[in-house]
Amino acid sequence: MTTQEHAGFEAKAILWDFGGIFTGSPFHSIDDYAETLGIEGSLLVQLVLGYGIVDGNHPWHRLERGEISMIEAAKEAVAAVENVGVANFNLQDFFASMSGENSNAEAMFNGVRRYKNLGIKQIILSNNIREFGKTWKPMLPDGLFDGIIDSSEVGVRKPNPEIFKIALAKAETLPNQTIFLDDYPEHVDVARSLGIIGINVGPNPLEALTELDSLLNVSSS
């Protein structure tokens, strides 16, 4: 994406993924733990979380849609890893390795404040689970975001296009007035296919703020 490609557009809303932007990203931090188990990080994420396969009946997909409990999904996730011959897998260690505080979190929230002060709506669009709601939602500064689309509450998860349509309805914006940030490229690709302006967030999420500042023609100072 280049600034020139979207010259002259007026942003009305920004949709933010949560994990990987305001916390550490599982897609950029799992490799060290996977290496201790003798498995590729991408395969481990696929087995446990179902990322990299079509949205469907994988237990974690069902969990993120609010269809089953964390206990049910956890049992199936552990079994899936053990069934490929991996020993000593521990789900708590898995989550500890892929999450945690992002040292740039406050800078990211300051970026959200900067764009909100421009009159742009700020909405969280997250694949999440009900059991985690009391943990991650309090991490959001009071009054900063104009809405939260939680997959486990709406019954649909990224990359299903329907969740983006739900977010657009919540924001009351058109796709070409909307920006979406996520650390998982497939999600960004789907958003772009709907006409939403997408930004891939890499290991350093501050780079995404730089891209946003350029796109919106605003100063970070």
Q: What is the mean pLDDT of the chain?
A: 92
pLDDT of residue 3: 40
| 118 plus 89 within the same structural domain | no
The pLDDT, as a whole number, for residue 4 is 40
Band (125; pLDDT cuts 50, 70, 90):
very high
Structural domains counted in the chain = 2
Q: pLDDT tens, 12-43?
A: 999 999 988 998 776 767 888 999 999 999 99
Give 175-201 pLDDT, tens digit per residue: 999 999 999 999 999 999 999 999 999
Give a three-class secondary structure readout of the chain: CCHHHHCCCCCCEEEECCCCCCECCHHHHCHHHHHHHCCCHHHHHHHHHCCCCCCCCCHHHHHHCCCCCHHHHHHHHHHHHHCCCCCCCCHHHHHHHHCCECCCHHHHHHHHHHHHCCCCEEEEEECCCHHHHHHHHHHCCCCCCCEEEEHHHHCCCCCCHHHHHHHHHHHCCCHHHEEEEECCHHHHHHHHHCCCEEEECCCCCHHHHHHHHHHHCCCCC
| Radius of gyration of the chain from its Cα atoms, rounded to whole angstroms | 17
Quote the pLDDT of residue 2.
Answer: 40
Percent of the chain scoring above 90 in pLDDT: 80
Q: Is residue 75 part of a domain?
A: yes
Tens-digit pLDDT profile for residues 143-163 = 999 999 999 999 999 999 999
Strand order in the sheet with 178-182: 147-150, 121-126, 13-16, 178-182, 197-200
Residues 106, 207: one domain?
yes
Considering the domain architecture, whether residues 134 and 75 belong to the same structural domain is answered as no
CATH of the domain at 165: 3.40.50.1000
Q: Say if residue 122 is in the same domain as residue 211.
A: yes
Query: In terms of residue numbers, what domain contains 181?
Result: 3-24+101-216
Name the nearest CA neighbour of 14 among 218, 173, 166. Answer: 173
Verify that 107 and 91 share a domain, yes or no: no
The answer to whether residues 128 and 210 belong to one domain is yes
The verdict on 52 and 132 lying in the same domain is no
**Could you tell me if 90 and 161 lie in one domain?**
no
